[in-house]
Amino acid sequence: MEQKGSVLMQRYEFGKLLGQGTFAKVYHARNLITGMSVAIKVVDKEKVLKVGMVHQIKREISVMRLIRHPHVVELYEVIASKTKIYFVMEYAKGGELFNKVVKGKLKLDVARKYFLQLINAVDYCHSRGVCHRDLKPENLLLDENDNLKVSDFGLSSLAESKRQDGLLHTTCGTPAYVAPEVINRKGYEGMKADIWSCGVILFVLLAGHLPFQDSNLMEMYRKIGKGEFKFPKWFAPDVRRLLSKILDTNPRTRISIAKIMESSWFKNGLQKPTSITIGNEDLAPLDSDDRVFEVCENGGPIPESKQKQPKPTNFNAFDIISFSTGFDLSGLFEDNVLKKEMRFMSKKPASVIVSKLEEICKWLQLKVSKKDGGLFKLERSKEGRKGILGIDAEIFEITPHFHMVELRKCNGDTMEYQKIFKQDIRPALDDIVWTWQGDQPQQLQQKVVQQEEQQQPSNT
């Protein structure tokens, strides 16, 4: 199927093989509709099922859908057939950063540029509750403009992966880049471990060799555990100070990403990291990660993505049903993905809904501003991690006694929005909500039919 010239889903024409591992192969491909180059990672289902890596593949899909950043490889869509899973991803034309590192140390400005981009990507991942856990030059790709792209989230973890002690306990990563607390097997903070790996990468970029290396693996682990390494003589004092704080064997005192960004060496970069624009955080919705392991009755491929549904201006029963997560299979990601919008149905008049929203805003000290039509903007007064949190609330009239309300984040941090929505806004709306977006389609259809029957005049 993946031979050069073969076509997937009548959209992607396969090109040359870019690389391969135990369970997957990566090909260059071309989108026949747009002409755009993509990379397609082809995973063998049978091998994955045989070694019990199903959870890892599902997690990789969830994480890649969650992360959208200029310096992270973007996942466009996932397609599944009877025997294969296809990850259609952004194509990084420049290949692995590792290919540059093996030739020796990089120039100071080049190394610093890559490190700035790496730190910004990792900081963004951490803000989304994602730890990579396998950062190394082989997993850092370069695009056609020589900009860094973090890839391979197969070993990543989400915040939900932690045990009750708040720590991760899975030993993973590449030995030379792994943090000492990971080796110790006593539990570790994924974010702190990622910072250590970033420090090893920076050392390699500037020195042309690893800080901790030995032909005996146990001896290398001992050096990592003790933090035994030597700076090359050409390392300037400011980068020595920074690396000493990053490669601190005590995760509690290890420097944070925020402090790295404040360091003099980091600030002396050619371009400041704060100039990066993230853009829209959400990818086009994917179907459930569980579906990639389903077997098609006819053996044909299962598309795992769909176009974002446009918001209709007029609603009927079928429009309402289509908003249910029973049909919108991206809702099955709800446990792992931070959603930016939620909808609910209400049988209350618009005036009652507006009054309730104003009451909640007063309680939460949110500023309310009315826009055109049924659109309201709710804003926090204090600035958060990603600026001031803003929420748009829009009311759609289906019938005079039946409304749909859509709440969506328009500014600020998605995690902050999720927290205030789950803990405060949603519980406070209970007395006016008829049904939330996540109702099963059968339940929702029954309610719609009942509603329509109640509004029809009796013939008796």
Q: Which residues are annotated as a binding site?
A: 41
* Rounded Cα gap, residues 150 and 73, in angstroms: 6
Tokens read off for 343:
């909808």
Question: Is 392 assigned a catalytic role?
Answer: no
- What percent of the residues of the chain are helix, what percent strand, and what percent coil, each to the nearest 5? 35, 25, 40
Q: Which of 24, 1, 27, 57 is nearest to 301 (CA)?
A: 1
Tokens read off for 96:
């692995």
Burial class (CB in 10 A: 0-12, 13-18, 19+), 209: exposed
Annotated binding site for ATP: 41
Give the SS3 label for residue 241.
helix
* Rounded Cα gap, residues 362 and 101, in angstroms: 56
Residues with Cβ < 8 Å from 18, sequence gap 6 or more? 26, 27, 28, 39
Given the residues 44, 109, 134, 392, the one annotated as active site: 134
* Rounded Cα gap, residues 279 and 125, in angstroms: 15
Burial class (CB in 10 A: 0-12, 13-18, 19+), 216: exposed
Cα-Cα end-to-end distance for the chain: 65
| E strand or H helix at 185 | none
* Rounded Cα gap, residues 15 and 5, in angstroms: 6
Active site residues: 134
